[in-house]
Amino acid sequence: MITLRHLTAGYGRQPVTLPLNGVFRPGSLTAVIGANGSGKSTLLKTLAGLQPPVSGAVQLARSERRQLAFLPQQADLDRQFPLLVEDVVAMGLLRHRGVFGRFTRHHRQQVVQALGQVGMAGFAREPIGRLSGGQFQRVLFARLLVQQAPLILLDEPFTGIDAATVRLLLDLIAGWHTQQRTVIAVLHDIEMVSACFPQTLLLHPQGNAWGNTAQVLVQQHGRAAEPPVENGPVAGKRLSWGEAAL
C-alpha cells in the first residue's frame, strides 16, 4: 500500500504538483493523467524513490519498496548499449539471485518463458539495438514479468508502439490486476484509461481529482461541480481538491 501525505512532487525546491493525500490500495489499477508538464512522470519517480518529495511524504514499507518494479519511458533508456535481449530480461532477476548470484538453468527458463509470453520467443540472443520500439517494449515487459513484483509503476508504456503490442501489454496489465498486484501507469490515451483502468488520478494546476475513473473523467471535462466521492478510508466524505482515497 502506498500512502501519500501532503505529497508535493517536483525538482529541488520547485514544486510541480499540488499536494496529494490518499492511498493506492493493494491490488488497485490506477491511471495517472494530466497535461504535459503537470508532473505525472515526476510523481511516478517520486513514488519509486528515485527523487525526494519537495514536501510531504510517500509512506511505503521498506520491504515493499525493495519489491517495486519501475518501467521508465523508452526515451530515458539507452538502446545503443551493447546488450542482448536475454541480458535485459535477466536484470529483472537481480532481486531474486543477487548481483553476484549464479545465473542458473532455472533463471534461463524464466527468461525464455517471459519472452514467450510477450511474443518474443527466439529473440533472446538478439542485440537490443536491432529491435523496433514495440519489440523493445515487449522485452521490458518481459523483464517486469520475471521480477514478479507486487507493485508496478509504468511511465507512458504505450508511447510509440504498434497496436498489436498495445493490446498484448494491456492483457498483461489486466493479468497483474487479476493477481491483485498494484499497478500505477502514466497515460495519455483517455479512451484507454476509460476502458481499462478502474481508478484515475488527474493532476491539474487548479486542483487534482482522484478516484473512480468515470467520475474523474467527468471532472476533467468540466461536467461535474464537485470532485468524486470515494468508498475508501474516508467513506462518506466528499473529497476536496487535492485529496483522495483509493
Residue 238 has pLDDT above 60, yes or no: no
Residue 71 has pLDDT above 70, yes or no: yes
Bigger pLDDT: 240 vs 122: 122
Query: Residue 6: helix, strand or coil by DSSP?
Result: strand
pTM: 0.86
Q: Give residue 130's pLDDT.
A: 93
Cell numbers linked to 86: 536475454
Residue 223 has pLDDT above 50, yes or no: no
Separation in Å, CA 107 to CA 67, 91, 118, 150: 18, 11, 17, 19
Q: Give residue 67's pLDDT.
A: 84
- CB of 212 within 8 A of CB of 198? yes
Bigger pLDDT: 106 vs 96: 106
> Which positions ≥6 away from 183 have C-beta within 8 Å?
28, 29, 30, 152, 153, 154, 173, 176, 177
Residue 64 has pLDDT above 90, yes or no: no
d(CA 84, CA 220): 43
| Fold assignment, 1-67+150-246 | Rossmann fold (3.40.50)
> Which positions ≥6 away from 238 have C-beta within 8 Å?
226, 227, 229
Q: Give residue 225's pLDDT.
A: 36
Bigger pLDDT: 163 vs 78: 163
Q: Give residue 101's pLDDT.
A: 62
Domain ranges of the chain: 1-67+150-246, 78-149
Q: Exposed/middle/buried for 25, CB within 10 Å: 0-12, 13-18, 19+?
A: middle
Q: Give residue 231's pLDDT.
A: 30
Q: At what angle do helices 133-147 and 163-178 cross, to 10 degrees?
A: 10
* Distance from the first to the final alpha carbon of the chain: 10
Q: Give the start-end residues of each E strand in 61-138.
A: 68-71
Residue 228 has pLDDT above 50, yes or no: no
At 99, the pLDDT band (50, 70, 90 cuts) reads low
